[in-house]
Structures are given as C-alpha cells and as structure tokens.
C-alpha cells in the first residue's frame, strides 16, 4: 500500500476562500440554497464546504489551489480586451461560443459594445471615488485594498473591437476572500458602491457536470444531507445513513426520490401540495 498517497484535504487547501464563500452562502436569507427551505434542520451544513470536503478528499495533494477553488464553482468568466480581463456576468455568459480552434469566445455586437461602455463608466466612477478618498486621506495612497481596487479599475484598452470580431474568453478562479475584504473595508469607511464585488454567481448555484465517476461516497451520519447532495451533484454514487426519522425523511425527499423519479416528481408534489393547502 502506498502510504505517501496523500489527498489535498490532508495536505492543505485554501480554507480562506472556502470560508469566505461559505459566509456568502449563509449571509442572505433570500438567496439560500433551495434545500434550506425543504424542512428546518438545525445542523444543516452549507453546500460550499460540503463540496469542498468531498473534492479535497479525492484530489491529490499536489492539486493546484486555483483549480480546486474552481471545482467548487468559485469561478470568474472573463473576456480579454487587448489582453486586459473584463469580467462577464448575466446574459453575456449565455452568449459565449466556441471558436474554430475550440476555445471559448464572445462575438462583439451592439449589445456587447453597450456593456463595454457600461463597464468603462463603472471603472471611471471608481477611479473618481478613489481619487476623492486619497485627497481626503493621503495615508490611503498605500492602502493595499485601495491599491488593488484602483488597479482593477484601470480603463479598458482603446480602440475597442468592431462588431463581428471575437473576444477570447478565459475562466479563472474567483476570489471571495478579496470580495469580503473589500466589502468590510467599504463598510468600515461608510462607503457605498452598488457594484458586484464577486463577479460570479453563488458557488452552490454553479453545478458540476455530474458525469458518473464510478466512485461511492458514504456518509454514515448524513443529517440534512448536504454532503450526500453535493456528492450526487459531483457524479458519485451515494450511501447516506441516518437514525433520526425526520432527517431520514428529508434525505428521501432530497436525494432518493428526485434521483429515482426525476422531473415526473414535480407534478406529484404539486398535486399533493394543493390537496394539503
């Protein structure tokens, strides 16, 4: 037996990123995972660290930390404007195509150019605010949060691409720890900016591909089922055990019945729900 075959969870992983995304997951009651609303369960584990525990238990110890974080759904999608990254969000993500080489690309049209203009305006507003903050407090000129914010607010290169051209697209690790740091920094100084600090949707909404792995994950004390749920999403076969009858019912409703009956279950739930109303 190879006693040197360590997994990432034994070797060390970027807990600060997992922790920051976990706080984000639990931080807004209006944006919690749907599982939270199925039934109150006092020991329900967040989905982000549940997925992290599974992935880190299977990834080898030398896994690149950025690749691991991206496996958790913490990922930014960026178009490159003359090699400078522009984070894509919303409907622009649905417009990404594959070019002739098989790489991802974004075709430039009037809609993309308008969004480029909005991005340029956002960056200009940031630079103006940063200059105002520095003028009021010269010590901020060396503040690491302000320096990074200023660097990320630099103008996009000119001239912009023409309609019909394609911008190359890359996927990089998101940085929730930085987003949290900047939110904390702004809150402490009573600064209000409405822009998205993360640049990607909540990680638990970014589902893995779910391709069958042939591996089996056992959770002997499954509780509300966060770990088995994420294991299923990752494509593993799952064995979930639980003695509490309430938790067992939650597991059937969350894991077993949806996997067994699929979308046909929706009509049954709707019909019985109306009868119980």
pLDDT above 80 (res 84)? yes
User: Residue 211 has what pLDDT?
Assistant: 84
The CA distance from 44 to 241, in Å, is: 15
More confident of the two residues 86 and 26: 86
Pairing of strands 166-173, 75-81: antiparallel
Domain boundary among 129, 155, 173: 173
Whether residue 237 contacts residue 259, with contact meaning beta carbons closer than 8 Å, is answered with no
Residue 181 lies in a domain: no
pLDDT above 60 (res 128)? yes
Residue 179 lies in a domain: no
CA of 163: how far to CAs of 103, 111, 167, in Å? 19, 10, 11
Does 62 share its domain with 130? Answer: no
Does 159 share its domain with 81? Answer: yes
User: Residue 196 has what pLDDT?
Assistant: 92
Does 252 share its domain with 166? Answer: no
Share of the chain above pLDDT 90, in %: 72
Does 110 share its domain with 144? Answer: yes
Mean local confidence (pLDDT), 42-67: 93
Is there a cis peptide before residue 93, judged by omega within 30 degrees of 0? no
Residue 193 lies in a domain: no
User: Residue 3 has what pLDDT?
Assistant: 65
User: Residue 240 has what pLDDT?
Assistant: 94
pLDDT above 90 (res 117)? yes
Does 43 share its domain with 111? Answer: no
CA of 165: how far to CAs of 115, 168, 194, in Å? 15, 10, 31
Residue 185 lies in a domain: no
More confident of the two residues 34 and 77: 77
Does 91 share its domain with 163? Answer: yes
Q: Write the pLDDT tens digit of every residue in 4-24.
A: 788 999 988 899 999 999 999
Does 137 share its domain with 169? Answer: yes
Domain boundary among 173, 194, 219: 173
pTM recorded for the entire structure: 0.89
Give, as one character, the DSSP assignment of residue 157: P
Q: Write the pLDDT tens digit of every residue in 199-241.
A: 999 999 988 877 889 999 999 999 989 999 999 999 999 999 9
Residue 161 lies in a domain: yes
Number of domains in the chain: 2
Mean local confidence (pLDDT), 102-127: 95
User: Residue 2 has what pLDDT?
Assistant: 59
Does 83 share its domain with 152? Answer: yes
Tell me the pLDDT band of 35, cut-offs 50, 70 and 90.
confident
Q: Write the pLDDT tens digit of every residue in 145-178.
A: 999 999 999 999 999 899 999 999 999 999 999 9
Does 213 share its domain with 247? Answer: yes
What range defines the domain where residue 244 resides?
8-72+206-276
Does 19 share its domain with 83? Answer: no
Which element (helix H / strand E) includes 96? strand 96-98
Does 67 share its domain with 91? Answer: no
Residue 189 lies in a domain: no
Residue 151 lies in a domain: yes
Domain boundary among 155, 173, 191: 173
The CA distance from 252 to 267, in Å, is: 17
Residue 28 lies in a domain: yes
Closest to 11 (Cα-Cα) out of 61, 59, 51:
61
Does 86 share its domain with 165? Answer: yes
């Amino acid at each position: 037996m190879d006693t040197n075959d360590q997994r990432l969870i034994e070797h060390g992983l970027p807990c600060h990123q997992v922790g920051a995304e976990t706080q984000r997951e639990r931080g807004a009651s209006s944006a919690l995972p749907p599982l939270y609303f199925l039934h109150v369960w006092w020991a329900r584990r967040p989905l982000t660290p549940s997925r992290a525990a599974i992935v880190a238990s299977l990834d080898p110890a030398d896994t690149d930390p950025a690749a691991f974080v991206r496996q958790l759904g913490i990922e930014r999608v960026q178009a490159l404007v003359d090699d400078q990254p522009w984070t894509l969000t919303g409907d622009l993500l649905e417009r990404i195509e594959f070019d002739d080489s098989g790489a991802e690309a974004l075709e430039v049209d009037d809609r993309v150019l308008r969004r480029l203009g909005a991005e340029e305006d956002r960056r200009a507003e940031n630079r103006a605010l940063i200059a105002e903050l520095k003028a009021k407090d010269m010590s901020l000129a060396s503040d690491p949060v302000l320096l990074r914010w200023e660097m990320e607010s630099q103008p996009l290169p000119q001239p912009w691409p023409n309609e019909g051209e394609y911008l190359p697209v890359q996927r990089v690790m998101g940085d929730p720890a930085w987003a949290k740091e900047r939110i904390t920094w702004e809150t402490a100084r009573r600064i209000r900016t409405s822009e998205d600090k993360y640049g990607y949707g909540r990680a638990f909404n970014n589902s893995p591909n779910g391709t069958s792995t042939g591996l089996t994950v056992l959770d002997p004390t499954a509780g509300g089922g966060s770990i088995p749920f994420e294991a299923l999403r990752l494509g593993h076969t799952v064995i979930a055990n639980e003695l509490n009858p309430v938790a067992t019912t939650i597991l059937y409703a969350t894991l077993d019945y949806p996997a067994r009956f699929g979308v046909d279950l929706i009509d049954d739930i709707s019909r019985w729900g109306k009868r119980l109303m």
